[in-house]
A and B are shown apart, each in its own frame.
Chain A
Amino acid sequence: MQKTVRRKRRSGIWPYLLLAPAMIIMLSVVVVPIINAVGMSFQNYNLVKPNKMGWIGLGNYQKLLTNDPQFWKSLWRTVVWVFFGVGGQFLFGFMLALLLNKEFKGRGVIRAVSLIPWVTPGVLIALMWSWMFDGNYGVINDILLKLGIISDKIAFLAKKDSAMPSVIITIIWQGIPFFALMILAGLQGIPADLYEAAAIDGATGWQKLYYVTIPSLRNTIFVTTMLRVIWVANSVDVIFNMTGGGPAYATQTLSVYVYNKASALDMGYASAMALMLMLVLLLVAIPYLRANFRDQEG
């Protein structure tokens, strides 16, 4: 699995010294805060109501599981957001990668340029697309009207039915380059003789895609999808800056819900929800973690 052959050596104290700075920082900015968050999740910890702070045991968890319909609705919206968001990124990213894998003039430049959405700040993405989706002056309305697809302007982000699809289109746009990049690298690693063998057997283009390309890319697709699922499920900035979770909670995913609660300084309840979100992601990512663990043994 590992390409480089490494030799065992007596290591002594050196590796621990080298790791110390990184470990100390990670301990204080990740491990301690998470323990802290677990502690807060068992408390009434609302910075706006300091006189009511105190331990309430499982109170926050009880409330969110049994007494907060928005928690379950937000969790479901997270599923929709991730499924269509990552699904769209994968589909279009795959298509773009297949195109960029062909030989043509200016490929390097086009490949670099098509990555720009990926390096654009989330806030700016949210604001740019809000402006394009605008109900009065938005360019998307203008294009759709000119093409005759719609007959009246739509306030995309202000309507309950269109808000979620609009933010999903935005996150798809943001994530296509990353998928394309990873899959393109995978494509370039497929040995050419596999395709030659398939051609000798008389395979058509689609058959080559189905029997050679996709199986060879299994690992790449798996890892990339997993990374994106976690990333998209956790992302706050795009939705928060386009709709704030509205209208009428229509785009409030779980992470946006937590963020709104945290912004309102209700830290105890927000921590409990954030921990639930982590638990859900952990369950989803178990196969990925297993694969990684196997890799590290090599």
Chain B
Amino acid sequence: MNEKKPLSRILLLWVPLVLFLIFLLFPFYWTLVTSLKTDAELHSLTVRYWPTQPTLQAYEHLFGSYNFLHPMKNSLIVAAITTVVSLTVSTLAAYAFSRFRFAGRKPLMLLFLTNNMFPTVLLLIPLFTIMRQIKLLYTPWALVLSYTTFTIPFSVWLLNGYLNDLPISMEEAAMIDGADRATAFVKIVLPVLLPCLLATGVYIFMQSWNEYTFAVLFTNEANRTIPVSLKMLVGQLGVQWDLITAGGIITVIPVCIMFFFAQKRLVAGLTAGAVKG
């Protein structure tokens, strides 16, 4: 239908689409350009849309004197532990919700569903004092535990959706053949669920990698994560925009790569809940 009207297709599809893409992607372009500019050009009053002498100085500085590898390592530790812990307990819980009917199922599911209602700032305050009391403050565990407040409910919800789409007959066949439930789960369900687990894991990882609100209060110099370190570059003596933007590019790249691999299944899982009904 549209093929016959190329002009209207340009006006109604490509023009608005390109405008959208410019709006959504320009900030990243600008971040990249800024990170490649020399200091003089950065603070010149003529704004240039491409650096006259592109330089990697900011990146050298970032990994040299600023030691950005250190917060990267901290973020990696926190995100990896959070992912493993959340994924393990959420898979078990989601399996229980999806495959069993038991007393208390409904209120418990609702508890997980409504969890995201609690303001971060509400949990932040008591968690801070609790972590301080049990001496976990300023260790990676303070962040891991805080992040599970939102990663576990979310993963349970997501995985429950994925599991509901897997036919129960697969496990039943195995169990009729004499396998017990645990064996059926490990041998039959897990392999099929693996791509969904990876997608969920990517999402948990991204969330922990990106989190700032808890991180800034629960870390000190030794275990500061990337988002906190980026903010630290806004110093008393002015903002080091070249370092911030270079750090920003470094931060976004791994997340984007993971996201592109996982996005199809992740999006399917995310949208399934809202679309049905």
Is the beta-carbon distance between B126 and A236 smaller than 8 angstroms?
Answer: no
Mask, B30-57, CB within 8 Å of A = 1, is 1100100000001111010000000000
Docked-complex contact B252 and A186, CB < 8 angstroms: no
Report B-chain residues with C-beta under 8 Å of the C-beta of A113. 21, 25
Asked if A112 is an interface residue, CB under 8 A from chain B, the answer is yes
The B12-35 residues at the A interface (CB cut-off 8 A) are 13-14, 16-17, 20-21, 23-25, 27-28, 30-31, 34
- Chain A residues numbered 1-49 whose CB sits less than 8 Å from any CB in chain B: 1-4, 6-9, 11, 14-16, 18-19, 21-23, 25-26, 28-30, 32-34, 36-37, 40, 47
CA–CA, A29 to B101, complex, Å?
26
When the two chains form their complex, are residues A224 and B274 in contact, meaning their CB atoms are under 8 A apart?
Answer: yes
- Contact present for A119 and B255 (CB under 8 Å): yes
Pick the interface stretch among A57-65, A134-142, A207-215. Answer: A134-142
Cα distance A75–B204 in the bound complex, in angstroms: 31
Q: Are A37 and B125 in contact (CB under 8 A)?
A: yes
Tell whether B88 is near chain A: CB-to-CB under 8 Å: yes
B109 contacts A296, CB within 8 Å? yes
- Of all A-B residue pairs in the complex, the 6 with the closest CB atoms, nearest first, are A185-B271, A121-B210, A33-B126, A36-B126, A274-B122, A18-B96
Is A30 a contact partner of B123 (Cβ separation < 8 A)?
A: yes
**B120 partner residues in chain A, CB cutoff 8 A:** 234-236, 255
Q: Name the contact of A297 in the complex, choosing from B16, B93, B106, B268 (C-beta under 8 A).
A: B106
Say yes or no: is B184 at the interface (Cβ < 8 Å to chain A). no
Q: In chain A, residues 120-145, which have Cβ atoms closer than 8 Å to a Cβ of chain B?
A: 120-125, 127-129, 131-132, 136-139, 142
Kindly list chain A residues whose C-beta atoms are within 8 Å of the C-beta of B61: none
Q: Is the CB of B24 within 8 A of A278?
A: no
From B30, B101, B108, B217, A128 is in contact (CB under 8 Å) with: B30
**Is the pair A131, B100 in contact by a Cβ cutoff of 8 Å?**
no
Task: Kindly provide the distance from the CB of A156 to the nearest chain B CB, expressed in whole angstroms.
Answer: 14
Q: Are B27 and A132 in contact (CB under 8 A)?
A: yes
Q: Which residues of A contact B92 (CB under 8 A)?
A: 18-19, 21-22
Using an 8 Å CB-CB cutoff, how does the interface string of B91-105 with A read, 1 for contact, 0 for none? 011011101111001
Shortest C-beta distance, B110 to chain A (Å), equals 6
A104 at the interface (CB under 8 A from B): yes
CA distance A37 to B248 in the complex (A): 35
Q: Is the CB of A274 within 8 A of B146?
A: no
Cβ of A298 to closest chain B Cβ, rounded Å:
9
Chain B residues near A30: list those with CB within 8 A: 115, 118, 123, 149
Chain A: minimal CB distance from B140 (Å): 15
Checking B2, B44, B156, B234 against A127 with a beta-carbon cut-off of 8 angstroms, the contacting residue is: B234
A interface residues, how many (CB within 8 angstroms): 104
Kindly list 13 other residue pairs between chains A and B, CB separation below 8 angstroms, not including A11-B101, A274-B119: A6-B168, A25-B145, A32-B126, A113-B21, A116-B24, A117-B27, A121-B211, A121-B251, A182-B271, A186-B274, A241-B212, A271-B125, A281-B117
Q: Quick one: closest A residue to B120, CB to CB?
A: A234
Listed A/B pairs (11) with beta-carbon separation below 8 Å = A6-B101, A22-B156, A29-B145, A131-B31, A137-B44, A137-B47, A142-B47, A173-B23, A227-B274, A241-B212, A296-B110
Find chain B residues with CB under 8 A from A36 CB.
Answer: 126, 129-130
Q: Is the CB of B263 within 8 A of A185?
A: no
Contact A122 B88 (CB under 8 A): no
Q: Does B114 contact A (CB under 8 A)?
A: yes
Decide if A128 touches B102 in the complex (CB within 8 Å). Answer: no
Given contact pairs A7-B168, A270-B125, A234 touches B119 in the complex (Cβ within 8 A): yes
Determine the interface band of chain B, counting residues with CB < 8 A from chain A.
35 or more
Tell me how far the C-beta of B210 lies from the nearest C-beta in chain A, rounded to whole angstroms: 4
Contact present for A271 and B20 (CB under 8 Å): no
CB of B125 to closest CB in A, whole Å? 5
Taking CB atoms, residues of chain B closer than 8 Å to A296 are 106, 109-110
A278 touches B27 (CB 8 A): no
What's the least CB distance linking A251 to chain B, in Å? 16
Measured in the bound complex, the distance between the Cα atoms of B14 and A25 in whole Å is 49
Interface pick from A79-87, A158-166, A285-293: A285-293
Q: Is B84 an interface residue (CB 8 A)?
A: no
Whether A223 is near chain B, meaning CB under 8 Å from some CB there, is yes
- A150 on interface, CB distance cutoff 8 Å: no
Cβ A292 vs Cβ B47 within 8 A: no
B156-188 contacts to A (CB < 8 Å):
156, 164-165, 167-168, 181
Q: A115-B263, A227-B116, A236-B120 are in contact. Are A29 and B96 (CB under 8 A)?
A: no
For residue B127, CB closer than 8 A to chain A, the reply is yes
The CB with the most chain B CB atoms within 10 A, among A110, A124, A128, A231, is that of A124
Contact B13 A102 (CB under 8 A): yes
Q: Shortest distance in angstroms between B135's beta carbon and chain A's nearest beta carbon?
A: 15
User: What residues of chain A lie closer than 8 Å to B21, measured between beta carbons?
Assistant: 110, 113-114
Report if A267-B125 is in contact (Cβ < 8 Å); known contacts: A7-B168, A22-B93, A36-B130. yes
A70 interfacial contact with B, CB 8 Å: no
**Cα–Cα, bound, A25→B87 (Å):** 13
Question: Which residue from chain A places its CB closest to the CB of B181 in the assembled complex?
Answer: A14
A9-B101, A34-B123, A227-B116 known; A19 vs B93 contact (CB < 8 Å): yes
